[in-house]
Each structure stands twice: as C-alpha cells, then as structure tokens.
Amino acid sequence: MDAHLDIKRIVAAVRSALPADQTNVALHQPEFSGNEWAYVKECLDTGWVSSAGKHVDRFEQMLADFTGAKHAVATVNGTSALHICLLLCGVQRGDEVLIPSLTFVATANAVSYAGAIPHFVDSEETTLGVDARKLHAHLDSIAELKHGTCINRTTGRVIRALMPMHVFGHPADIQTLNTLCERWHIVLIEDAAESLGSYYHGIHTGNFGRIAGLSFNGNKTITTGGGGAILTNDASLAKQAKHLTTTARVAHQWSFIHDAIGYNYRMPNINAALGCAQIEQLPEFLRRKRALAEKYLRALNGIAGVRVLKEPAGCSSNYWLNTLILENAELSNRDMLLQALNDAGLMARPAWTLMHKLPMYLDCPQMPLLTAASLEQRIINIPSSAYLSNGDH
Ligand SMILES: *Cc1c(COP(=O)(O)O)cnc(C)c1O
C-alpha cells in the first residue's frame, strides 16, 4: 500500500470539478442537443435510411472540412475503417504490423482481420502513445531492410506497417514516428479513433500517415450510434476505400458487377444524419471538454501520488477521456481508488488489459513492454462528458 495516497482527498477533488447536482456520473455520455431529431426524422420521412442518401456525402464533406483531410469515407464502425486502411496500405497475410500493446482491442483485431500479425510495441509516459525512441532501438536490433522492405530478422516476416493510436485523445509523437517509418520503409497508419478534435502542432490527427481510421461509437467525442471513417489525403486511396466499403460494386445503371471481394462497410444514411448534427456541435463539445480538463487539472494540482494527464507540449487534445495517473504501480492502490470513485457515483475505469496478455495474442512478437505494463497499473479514467462543463459552477 502507498501510504502517501490520500484516496478521500482525490475523490473529493474529482467531485469538486463536477457540477454539484450531478449524481451517478457516467464516464462518457452522448449529447443530442442540436439537429439530431430533425435530420433523423427527415431520413424516416423520406425513407432514405440505408446505404444511399445525401447525409452520408454531407457527413464525409463535414469530416474532411473539420479535419483538413482531403477525403473522408464513412464506414459502419471504427474497426472496419481500420481494416480497410490496412488492406489499402498493402498489408498482406503473414505480414507484421507494429501496434501499441496499450490500446483498445479493435486496433489488434483489425490487424488480424487483414490476416496480419500484431507486433506489440511499448508506450511512453508523457503521451501514452507509441515510444518512438524505444521503437527505433528495437528495430535497430531486430529488423533489416531487404530490397526496400523491412524484415523482422527473428521471424523472417515483413514488417509492413505501424499503426500508433492517440490514446484518450492525446496526440502521440506522430512526427517522430513518421520519420522513423520513412527510414524503415514502413507504412504509417493512424488509429485516430479517439482523437477527433485533437491536433499535433496545429494539424489535425489523422493527417500524418498515409491513411487513418476514426470511430463514432456511442462513447466517443461525437457519435453516429455506431460508425467510423477513413481519412486520407490521397485521392486514389479514397476512391479505393469507397469502392471496397461498398461491396466493390462497379457503377452501372442496373447490373450487379463486383470486381473484388468487397465489404458491406458503408455507413447507413440514418447514422450519417446523426453524425451531421453531432459534428455541427463538435467545436462546442471540444470547448467544454477542454474546460472540464482544466477544472480537473486545477482540482488535483498538488495532491501527492497522482496527476491528471495533460495534453503533450505543442498539441491540443480533445481530452476524450480524462485520465488520472498514479505515481506508483501498485494494483491495490489503483483498485482502492477505482472502488472509492465508483462508490461516490463517479464512474471510473482502468486502462484496457494490455493486448499481449489477451489469449489470442499471447504468441505475437513484442518488444520489452515495461512502460505499458507500468501504465496499465496506474491509469484511471474519470467522467469526461462535455455536459459536465455546462454553464457556471
Ligand atoms: C473506439 C476505438 C476503435 C473503433 O471502435 P468501433 O467500436 O469499431 O468504432 C478503434 N481503436 C480504438 C483505440 C478505439 O478506442
């Protein structure tokens, strides 16, 4: 036990950052205070609820405008978006894809859907994202370039891609990772599922690699019920993404001709209608989420043994999930604090179980995962909905 961790004081500090009238506070809850009803009603009134309709195109244009990416292709969820990203970057059966062990399972599953093998890499304390310096050293020790392809000398397999993730919305050290990828001829794909509204040195996340995946699941910063999107600045990739996500059907007035094994991954119009209404409110959601993070930072400032994760220098984070980081890696401490927060009606959750510990990924290649292992025992997410920073309190 950590004698210095004042659980009561921490719970009181978290509580003090929230509106006093809120009890049983969720971790992240969606908010439908804009045009959601109007747009969804229009879908129902006109019968355009499914795979065709104007809201999908509109939502894609709004996403491109907001993120500054040239193209956005809406999908049924974030996992399917990542799956298509991997396929379009040439990831093949038996390839390895570098991903953090500290991520949501969708990152690893998308790699598996493509027939590839996750190769787990360590994370860093400051951003919680992939540690570029350690990855550099790891590749130096296990990889070699053969005819312009990165080969893992210990497994003999091609290391085709790196898919870092912007954890809880905080941008990873993406420019350094980009440089590393160029040097090793590895494709950079961003899992930007958590980082809509997050910027690295003024540029929206998802614009650094060749292609990126977003998620609009019910717990994300904006939601379409379920949904995702592919972002890219490459017109040809965008065209292929749209083709592959719409059963690879060749455009024709009536014939059903498909020129590849495509996927039924297109976002339905009714979900896109929700998305259009949500993205209209995104700037306001971000303003309030960032204000809430400020309140947490102030409330917990100076309390020993714990800190609130702050956006990395030079970055602007959406603060999707606010994060407490304990100083000492002791599960009993973390669990006591988790229990106390939840008992106080403040929903709190630990980080995901690390990917390399899950039964289906036990045998995958990995580098030493010391920081990820430590972080796993020290992370606690606390209530982060935009509405918690409504009005004055
Ligand atoms: C939410 C999320 C996804 C995508 O999830 P879906 O539920 O399929 O939309 C992918 N990666 C990460 C890290 C996520 O948090």
Cα 360 vs. chain centroid, distance in angstroms? 21
Instruction: Return the exposure string of 109-133: e unless at least 16 CB atoms fall within 10 Å of the residue's CB, then b.
Output: bbbbbbebbbbbbbbbeebbbbbbe
Token pair belonging to 23: 């009890």
Predicted confidence (pLDDT) per residue in 35-77, tens digit = 999 999 999 999 888 877 899 999 999 999 999 999 999 999 9
Of 77, 79, 97, which is best to mutate to test ligand 1, by the most ligand atoms within 8 angstroms of its C-beta?
A: 79
What ligand 1 atom has the least distance to the C-alpha of 165? Answer: 13
> How many angstroms does the Cα of residue 193 sit away from the middle of ligand 1?
5
Token pair belonging to 248: 């690879």
CA angle centred on 343, ends 337 and 347, rounded to 5°: 75
**pLDDT at residue number 3:** 60
What ligand 1 atom has the least distance to the C-alpha of 77? Answer: 9
**pLDDT at residue number 2:** 55
Low-confidence ranges of the chain (pLDDT < 50): 392-393
What ligand 1 atom has the least distance to the C-alpha of 191? Answer: 11
**What is the DSSP track for 333-366?**
HHHHHHHHHHHTTB--EEPPPPGGGSGGGTTS-B
**pLDDT at residue number 284:** 97
Are the beta carbons of 85 and 106 closer than 8 angstroms? no
> How many angstroms does the Cα of residue 104 sit away from the middle of ligand 1?
7
Cα 361 vs. chain centroid, distance in angstroms? 20
Token pair belonging to 234: 């490459």
Shortest-distance Cα residue to atom 2 of ligand 1: 193
Predicted confidence (pLDDT) per residue in 234-276, tens digit = 999 999 999 999 999 999 999 999 999 999 999 999 999 999 9
Q: Which residue has the tokens 């804009």?
A: 34
What ligand 1 atom has the least distance to the C-alpha of 227? Answer: 9
> How many angstroms does the Cα of residue 254 sit away from the middle of ligand 1?
36
Of 80, 194, 263, 384, which is best to mutate to test ligand 1, by the most ligand atoms within 8 angstroms of its C-beta?
A: 194
* DSSP secondary structure letter of residue 154: T
60 lines ligand 1 (CB under 6 A): no
Tell the burial category of 178 from Cβ atoms under 10 Å away from its Cβ (0-12, 13-18, 19+): middle
CB atoms within 10 A of CB 258: 12
**How many residues are listed for the chain in this entry?**
393
In DSSP terms, 246 is beta-bridged to 264
CA distances from residue 367 to 105, 294, 319 in whole angstroms, order as listed: 18, 35, 29
Helix axes 7-16, 282-300, angle to 10 degrees: 140
What ligand 1 atom has the least distance to the C-alpha of 215? Answer: 9
Token pair belonging to 86: 């991997």
Of 104, 196, 231, 323, which is best to mutate to test ligand 1, by the most ligand atoms within 8 angstroms of its C-beta?
A: 104
Instruction: Return the exposure string of 12-47: e unless at least 16 CB atoms fall within 10 Å of the residue's CB, then b.
Output: ebbbebbeeebeebebbbbbeebbbeebbebbeeee
H helix or E strand, kind and range, residue 326: strand 322-326
CA angle centred on 222, ends 220 and 225, rounded to 5°: 80
Are the beta carbons of 312 and 370 closer than 8 angstroms? no
CA distances from residue 101 to 248, 257, 372, 374, 379 in whole angstroms, order as listed: 33, 41, 7, 12, 14
Pairing of strands 96-100, 117-121: parallel
**pLDDT at residue number 393:** 43
**What is the DSSP track for 33-97?**
-SSHHHHHHHHHHHT--SS-SHHHHHHHHHHHHHH--SEEEEESSHHHHHHHHHHHTT--TT-EE
